[in-house]
Structure formats: C-alpha cells, structure tokens
Structure 1
Amino acid sequence: TLTGLGLMMTELVELISGGNVILMLILIAAISLVLGMGIPTTANYILVATLMAPVVVDLGAQAGLPIPLIAVHLFVFYFGIMADITPPVGLAAFAAAAISKEDPIATGFQGALYSLRTAILPFVFIFNPAILLIGVDTWPQTIWVATVSLIAILLFSAATMNWFVTKSRLWESAALLLICFTLFRPDWWLNQVSPPYEELPASEFLSAVAQTPADGRINFVVEGVDLMGEDVRKTVNVPLGEPGEPLERLRGIGLTITQAGDALMISNVDFGSYAKRIGLDVGYDVVAVLRKADQPSSLIPIGLALAATAGVAGLQFARARKQSDRKETGPAR
C-alpha cells in the first residue's frame, strides 16, 4: 500500500516469530482477527488479503515452505471472518443475541469457543493443500481426501470436547489429537524419515518445466537482492498451464526467464501476474529446482492412525459398557 504498512507487517511478524513458521502463522491469525473486526465481508477480505497474505507468502517462501496462493488467502480470510463472532466487537454475535434475547458478550464467547474447534483447518490449508483439492486430480483421490479429512476433524472435535465414545481420559484426548495431526499431515512423519524433495541444479529447471504435466505445479528456489538491498532466498510453488515450450509456459504466469549458459535469471515479471503476487522480481536468479523425492506411502501413517483410533474407541466402548452394567446392577452391598 502507499503507506508502507504491508512491508511493516512483514518485518514485524518476521521479527517476533524469529523465522518459526508455526509462530508466524499464529501471529498472522491474530492480526487478521483484529483487522477483521467490525468490517463487512468484502472489505474484510480485501484488507486481510492486501496486508497479511503477502506476509505469509514471503515468510513462508523464506522458510522454504512454498504455499499456494489460494491456501494463503483462505487462511487469512478465515480468521478475518472469525472476528464477526469474537468479542468484544463480534457483530454476528450481537445479531444472534438480539434474536435469542441473551447477553451478546456471552454469546460471542460461546460462539468463539465453538469456532476454535475448526480453527485447525486454516493451518491444514497451509501444510496440506490437498484438502483444498490442490494436486488432487481424480475422483478416487477426492473421495479419499474428503473421507480422511472428515475423520480427522471429527476426532479433533472429540479431543477438544473430551468425549469420544464416552468421557475421555487425558491421555486418550492427547492420543486423539496426535491421530488428528497424523491424518491431516501424514507427510510430516514421512519427512522425518526421508526428505520430501530432491534439489536439482538450475540447469535442470527448464527440462523440469517441460516435464510437468498439464495444470501441474513446480517448486523452485530463487535468490536475489530485494528493493531494500537485502539478500533474499525463496522457495516458490507455481502452477503451469497446458504442456508446451518451457519458456512459454512460464510466460503464462507472467514470468520471463533469460538463459545464459546454465545460469537462469528472471528478466521480467508482468504486473499483476501470479509470479508478481508471490513475490518474484526482476534480477532474481533461479538457483535450484525441487523434484518430489521417493518416499514411503502416506497410507502407512494414515493406516497406523486409523488403527490407533480403533484402539481408543475399543477401550472406550469397553469402559462405557462397564459403566452401563454398573448402573443397571446398582451399587454393590
């Protein structure tokens, strides 16, 4: 913006978070919540998308986490909208309280408490874009992602409510949270075993672009100097359109690459293009391309998580049955 507030936000969040992605996202969520207070939906989106979305893209890229733009915008918009039910402003809470004849602040707190059980979803958008059907190309994949996500959010609700089949013990709620995390991010466990990407030299970049299937995405690393004179290294994720000549496919997202031997430099970024929105700029060098590495199947952690869910459910069913039998027989004399 003309005031430079967006740049200040980036610097502020980067300073406080210290480069920690999770802390950065929590700060962004809190700031988006404040920015969204008392603002209509459309203006809310424009505000958080303008001020906070670039912060997530920039800091995520600097941390080596390429985040699709749609996931970023949904993240900040979700928390911006949550301001409608969050006290002390909570316009929706005041409207609901007027209908129910209840205290608006109490209504807001109760609504915010209920909404916290779904606040995990925006974070999942960032770390597991498949839940937004990014990279999901077939109906079986769609059904699988929807089913696993539904189970995960139900388990998260059960854990936060401290009730699954029956009242949960502390360790059972903790186990359900761990299972939920595994279902939402099975790749985290796989990444502890083997790296998710193999870094190839920049000389392989154009061939990787050519080999990317229609409407596929590619990850690559750029380095350069920003307008403030500071060194920048970013990992970015960009979509590519229909198959074709590599340089033409890149121009489709507003990116012009100049090749000098094995060196690749960004010579032009179209104004308003996808490349511009994710922070690419003229003069940056493409230094590496990331290729998906061979990892164990994500079905392994998901299968273990579902087995653990069955185990917790079995224990609670047995405990609930004992409690029911005890009630029927009455207290022992």
Structure 2
Amino acid sequence: MENKFKQISIEEQKLLLEKYDLEASTLKLKGFMGWVVFFGLLFFSLFQLYSAIFQVFPKQILLSIHLGFALSLIFLLFPFRKKRLKEQKITWFDLLLALLSIGVGAYWPLMMDDIVSRTGMMTGLDFYVGLMATLLVLEATRRAVGLPITMISVIFLLYAYFGPYMPGFLVHRGVHLEGLVKTMFFTTEGILGTPLYVSATYIFLFLLFGAFLVKTGVGQYFNDLAVSIAGKRIGGPAKVAIFSSALQGTISGSSVANVVTSGSFTIPMMKKLGYRKEFAGAVEAAASTGGQLMPPIMGAAAFLMVEFIGGVTYWDIAKAAAIPALLYFTGIWIMTHFEAKRIGLKGLKDEEMPNKKEVISKIYLLIPILMVIVLLMSGMSVMRAALWSIVFTVVVSALKKETRIGWKDAVHALVDGARTALSVAAATAAAGIIVGVVTKTGLGLKLANGLVDLADGVLLLTLFFTMLAALVLGMGSPTTANYVITSTIAAPAIILLGVPELAAHLFVFYFGIIADITPPVALTAFAAAGVSGGEPIRTGINSARLAIAAFIIPYMFVLQPELLMIDTTIWKLGWVLLTALAGMVAIGAGMIGFWYRKLRILERIIAIATGLMLIYPDGLTDVMGFIIFAILLTIQFLSNQKNKTKIAQG
C-alpha cells in the first residue's frame, strides 16, 4: 500500500520505545563487543531451540543456563543508568556482572551431581553462589524491567526474613538467610521455578515465532488487511487500528511496542480524517493493549497460567479467552463508531485504499497463525506447536520472493527473538523470588483469607479489591510478574468464594494487562500520545474510557462462567452473548453521548444503566434491560427519521 499519510520515522519510533518501553532501552554496541553480544544472543536462541527439539537437559540445568544467558546479556545491553545510553559503551562493572552471571549459570551444570548427592545440604560455596544469583536477578530486573517489580521482590524477601516482627495475620516464624538462599536457588520453588521454566520453554519459542513472522513482513500485511476490511467504513481509520492491533498482538508481547509500530501507521490516518489527537492515540492504545488478550497467542502470562492451574492445556485457556477478547474489541469498535457518527467522520477515499488484489494475494502469510490454532486444537504440546509454527513460517515465506526468509533473515530473527526474551527472563526470575517467599511463608493463603475477611465474604467486593491490587501492581510491573503476584495472593481469595479456578486466574490476568492504559501510570497511552502529539493524561483517560468493556468483562465471566465456555450449552452461551453485546451497545452509546442522534444527560445515564442490567447475569435484569433497550432504540430511530424528514423538507 502506498503511504499516503505522514507517519513518524523509524528513528522517532525507536526514541518513543526507549522512552516508554524499558525493554527497548539498550546499548547499540559496535565493534568487538557488538559482535560478542550478537553471537551471545544467537547462541542463546540456538541453545533454546536445541533444548526444545531434543529435550535432553534436566530442568535445573536448562533453567540455570537460560538464566546465565539472560543475565549476562542484560548486563551487557542494559546500562546501570539510563543516562549512559548516550555514551554507548560498557563499563568494567557491567563486564564483571556479566562474568559473574555466566558463573552462576554454569554452577548447576558443573556441580549438579555434587549438589544432588548432598541431599539438600549447602556448602559455603553454594551459599555464596545462591546469594550472588539472587542479587544479580534483582539488579538485572531493575535494569531490564524496572524498579517497581524489583522493589516488590525485595519487600517479599524482607518479609520472609523479618517474619516474627510482622503485624497481625502476616506474622510468621521467619526464614533465616541460609534457608532463604537455599529456597531461591537450590529448589524448584524460587528463581529456578515455574515462572522461569515457562520463560525457558513456551514463551521463548513463541517470541522466536513472532520474530520470524516479522521477517516475512506480516506486520505491514496486518495493516493492509485491516484497511481493506474496515478502511471505508464510518470512522474507518479507527476501526483499522482496532483490527490491526488485534492481529499485531499475535506477534508482539508488548503493548508499547504494538502501539508504536502499528500506531505510527493508524494514528496519522485518524488525525487526517478528523479525530482529536487524544482520541486517536487512545483508540490505538486501547486496541494495542487488547492484543495481549487475543487468542491464539496471548500475553506471556497466559503461558504461565498453564503451569499455575492444574489440569488445563494452553488450548483450554485460549478457548476460554476467545469470547471475552471478542467482547473487548467489540466494545472499542462500538464506541469508535458512535464517536465517528457524533462528529460526522466518514471512511477513507478510494485512492487511500490498498489494492485489494495485492492484499488477497498475500493472504498466505496468515497460514502460520492459523496453524498454531490447528496444532493446539489437535492436542499437540505448546512447545511442539511453537516449533512447528516457526517451520511453517519459513516454508510459507518461501512462496514469494518478497516475503522469503533467507539465512541472514533467519539469523537476525534468532537474535531479535533472544533480545526480546531478555526482559521476560528477568521478570519471571524475579517472579520466582516472590513465589518462593509465598510458598515458604504461607503468605498466599494468609492474604487470600485476609482479602475475603476485608470484603466480608462478599464476592463483588472481593473482586473489586482484587481488581485494585492488579491495577496498582500492573502500573509498575510487566504482565508476567503482575500475574504471578496476583495469582498467588489474590486469585485464591476469589477461588475460596466458589469461582472456577480458570475464571479467577483470567480475572487477575485481564486487569494486569489493562493497567497499561489506566491513569496515572498508563505507559501504553503515553506512548500513543508520543505518536499523536496529544496530551498524555487526556490520552490515558480517553483510552480507559474506550476500554470500559475491559473493566466490565472480567466481572461478567466470573459471574457468568458460560462466557469462558465452562459448563454451558450452545443456547445458553448464545443468550449470554446476545445480552452482553446489547449491553455493550447501550454502554458505548451512553459513554460517547451519541446513538442515532446526540443523547441528553438523562438518556446517557439510562443507556449506561440499561447496559449494566443486560450484562449482569440475572433473568429479571436481562428482561428489564431488553425492554428498556428496545424503547431507547425505538426512540432514537424515530427521532433520527424525524430529523431526516425535516432536512429533506428544507
């Protein structure tokens, strides 16, 4: 598609990513150290592929090497202070930490037989290596992920050590330093635990899959496909942003990266059509954030869910998340449609549309994503599905010269995938510290019981407090770490009140992601404001308003597990969907203040109340909601027809 809109440059995109996405704030090394890092990233990916294909490494060795690779490369790429990015050089201190990380990563492979033979007894060397590993993880997390999650991890460690001095129900007998180090590095409940295992297996391979997809040009194809489908509709560019960002979420695990890449294309289109800067940025921010909620490849935390919930497969999770994701994007679509009608915006002109024949001719680029769905549905393991998806991507890319992945592209895809995985590895290692403390001290059950007591056993209040916890933690933590924390200390509270385990975990997962667009710390919205030139806080408020569905949907599927396709029939599911969609329309109209015509204040209040009645799972409220909905719709339609007649009569 010929570029007819003024997009921000690649350099401007990089600057925005560095400002709002800590994962992109890395040194651009050249010369000898540049090659060291390049080959380090390449060998990291090759090791992970070898491990996934042949599965010859014991879990502790796999995780230890994975951790060693990640930590050492983080210390070479992420400077001690962000100001050092301008200097573009590695200090002696960074080199020392990288070498210590290699030593920590090599300790288990070199000493495993000796460690196992001692049956839990630690030597002095064990203690110092474990202590060093914990400190290195904290510093690497601070550099690659951010200070908030690092501070949370430190607070949990302090809680473990000072247990006897804690107030009220938080008191415990305490964990001495040696026991704490042992838990952190010499058990499967700490750093080398479930979160890092998921990073070293499922997440890494799907990040590689995304990197290979990018090399085929599928990102630009998503934009062209979205324009072809939605470009000429009312407020077309906004709907393009929604559709494109939903697709982009399958290859990008970062909301900020999604908003900067696809937003550099969609936001200028929206501004040119007449959308306000803040609204244009908000549409892209809300849609890009929702990309992590969209199956088949959801945010990294969804892979953690497989390990945290017993007896479910990744396909079970993806299937359960399908209808909530559909409702989320439908909600944003409805509100942008009403906003476009309110200010009289049309779609794109014919000359601004891509060539449909060219777009259709590249439809084969979607085959790898469809294959992920087919493979997961067939019962194949997540690891095998990811490996085969990479193979399919390479094969499918060869169908045409312009999308073909050569050996140079493949090498760079391996390097890019490993680079993306560094912050995930750090976040999951830090999350392992939190899980280790929760397991060792029994904090999870204590907090769950405390949360239920605080809410006096009322489910809606418990859900509300859990939502607040997830939003606050999500403002400073990546989704993976946020999910680990909330799933261990908050989700159990919901489960205690009889909510299905999958629904409880998806509840905290949703709000951990939505934190990215929730003011005052709405990094995705701020990044979108950087593209649009709008005011950041206003963009954040607009994005939260557009994503109002995301604040409602989790309550819906907790109260109505049928939305997750749990213990339901096709007829019951159809009814729940019908009432939910009608409710979304009413709420969207009330929030925007327009339906067929402009709504008065009282009409807006009634519309929002009607939407909530339709969404709340109760037969009486559903019937009352439908009656009021039908009355509102009729009044709006007749009023609109009357206005059209007046205009026609002059």
User: What TM-score do you get using the length of structure 1 for normalisation?
Assistant: 0.55
Matched residue of 1:319: which SS?
A: helix
CA contact (8 A) 2:474 2:512 kept: yes
Q: Work out the CA distance in 1 between the residues paired with 2:649 and 2:622.
A: 41
Q: Does 1:179 align with 2:617?
A: no
Measure, in 2, the Cα distance between the counterparts of 1:3 and 1:34: 23
Q: Which of 315, 318, 326 is the matching residue for 2:635?
A: 315
The answer to whether the Cα contact below 8 Å between 1:57 and 1:67 also exists between their aligned partners in 2 is: yes
Residue 467 of structure 2 is aligned to residue 29 of structure 1: yes
Structure 1 residues 226-267: Cα deviation after superposition (integer angstroms, max 9, x where no partner): xxxxxxxxxxxxxxxxxxxxxxxxxxxxxxxxxxxxxxxxxx
- Write the distance in 1 (CA, Å) between the matches of 2:566 and 2:643: 46
Native 8 Å contact 2:559 2:617 kept in 1: no
Is 1:136 aligned to residue 568 of structure 2? yes
Q: Is the Cα contact below 8 Å between 1:49 and 1:73 reproduced in 2?
A: yes
Query: Is the contact between residue 93 and residue 111 of structure 1 (CA under 8 Å) also seen in structure 2?
Result: yes
Contact 1:128 1:184 in 2 (8 A): no
Instruction: State the AA in 2 paired with 1:22.
Output: L
The answer (yes or no) to whether the contact 1:118–1:153 under 8 Å persists in 2 is: no
Aligned partner of 1:23: which letter? L
Report what 2:72 is aligned to: none
| Match of residue 206 from structure 1 | none
DSSP-derived class of the 1:135 partner: coil
Does the CA-based 8 Å contact 2:451-2:490 persist in structure 1?
Answer: no
Distance 1:115-1:186 versus aligned 2 partners, 3 A rule? closer
Read off the aligned partner of 1:126 and give its amino acid letter.
V
Distance 1:104 1:185, change over 3 A: closer
Cα distance in 2 for partners of 1:143, 1:19 equals: 31
Could you tell me how far apart the structure 2 residues matched to 1:74 and 1:313 are?
Answer: 33
Q: Deviations over 1:182-201 (max 9, x none)?
A: 43334363xxxxxxxxxxxx
Are 2:585 and 1:154 aligned? yes
- C-alpha distance in 2, partners of 1:102/1:174? 29
Looking at structure 1, the residues matched to 441 and 536 of structure 2 have their Cα atoms a distance apart, in angstroms, of 36
Cα distance change of structure 1 residues 88 and 11 upon mapping to structure 2, 3 Å threshold: same
- Return the alpha-carbon distance in structure 2 between the equivalents of residues 37 and 80 of structure 1: 8
Cα pair distance change 1:92/1:19, threshold 3 Å: same
Match of 2:551 in 1: 119
Distance 1:306 1:99, change over 3 A: same
- What is the aligned partner in structure 1 of residue 625 from structure 2? 305
Contact 1:36 1:48 in 2 (8 A): no
Match of 1:105 in 2: 537
Contact 1:94-1:104 at 8 Å conserved across structures: yes
Contact 2:563 2:577 in 1 (8 A): yes
Distance, in Å, in 1 between the alignment partners of 2:649 and 2:464 is 51
Give yes or no for contact 1:38–1:91 (8 Å, CA) kept in 2: no
Contact 1:13 1:24 in 2 (8 A): yes
How far apart are residue 158 of structure 1 and its match? Answer: 1.8
SS at match of 2:457: coil
**1:32-52 CA-partner distances (Å, limit 9, x unpaired):** 101112322222222221121
CA distance in 2, matches of 1:55, 1:141: 28
Deviation for aligned residue 1:54: 0.7
Distance 1:168 1:186 in 2: 27
1:95 paired residue number? 527
For 2:531 and 2:612, locate their aligned partners in 1 and report how far apart those are by CA, in whole Å.
38
Question: Match of 2:530, as an amino acid?
Answer: A
Residue 78 of structure 1 corresponds to which residue in structure 2?
Answer: 510
Please give the alpha-carbon distance, in whole angstroms, between the structure 2 residues aligned to 1:185 and 1:105. Answer: 31
TM-score by length of structure 2 reads: 0.30
Show the 5 A alignment for 1:50-69.
Answer: 50-58=488-496, 61=497, 66-69=498-501
CA–CA distance in structure 1, aligned partners of residues 453 and 573 of structure 2: 39
Indicate the residue corresponding to 2:278 in structure 1: none
Which residue is equivalent to 1:39? Answer: 477
Deviations 1:106-164 (A, max 9, x none): 322321222224311111111111111212244x5444443332222222222232333
Distance 1:12 1:173 in 2: 38
Look up the SS of the partner of 2:597 in the other structure. Answer: coil
For 1:39, give the aligned amino acid: S
Contact preservation (8 Å) 1:165, 1:316: yes
Percent of aligned positions with the same letter in both sequences? 35
Tell me, yes or no, if the aligned pair for 1:38 and 1:90 is still in contact at 8 Å.
no
* Structure 1 residue 104, shift from structure 2 partner: 3.2
Between the two proteins, the alignment pairs up a number of residues equal to 212
1:8 Cα deviation from its structure 2 partner: 4.9
Q: Is the 8 A contact 1:186 1:302 kept in 2?
A: yes
Is 1:183–1:302's contact at 8 Å kept on the other side of the alignment?
A: yes
Partners of 1:3 and 1:85 in 2: CA distance: 33
Q: 1:162 to 1:47 in 2, by over 3 A?
A: same
- Give the direction of change, closer, same or farther, for the CA distance of 1:134–1:85 in structure 2 (3 Å limit): same
Q: Distance in 1 between matches of 2:503 and 2:590?
A: 25
Three-state SS of the structure 2 residue aligned to 1:119 is: helix
Unaligned runs of 5+ in 2: 1-437
Q: How does 1:272-283 map to 2 (within 5 A)?
A: none
Higher RCO (CA < 8 A, seq sep 6+):
2
Q: Would you say the 8 A contact 1:131–1:149 is kept in 2?
A: no
Query: More helix by proportion, 1 or 2?
Result: 2
In the alignment, the residues of structure 2 paired with residue 124 and residue 115 of structure 1 have an alpha-carbon distance, to the nearest angstrom, of 15
Are 1:19 and 2:457 counterparts? yes
Shift of the alpha carbon at 1:316? 1.8
The structure that has the greater radius of gyration is: 2
Alignment of 1:155-170 (within 5 A): 155-170=586-601
Change (3 A) 1:112 1:317: same
**Residue 447 (structure 2) pairs with residue 9 (structure 1):** yes
* Aligned mates of 2:441, 2:522 — CA distance in 1: 28
Kindly provide the amino acid, as one letter, of the partner of residue 596 in structure 2: V
Q: Which amino acid aligns with 2:474?
A: G
- 8 Å Cα contact 1:38-1:84 kept in structure 2: no
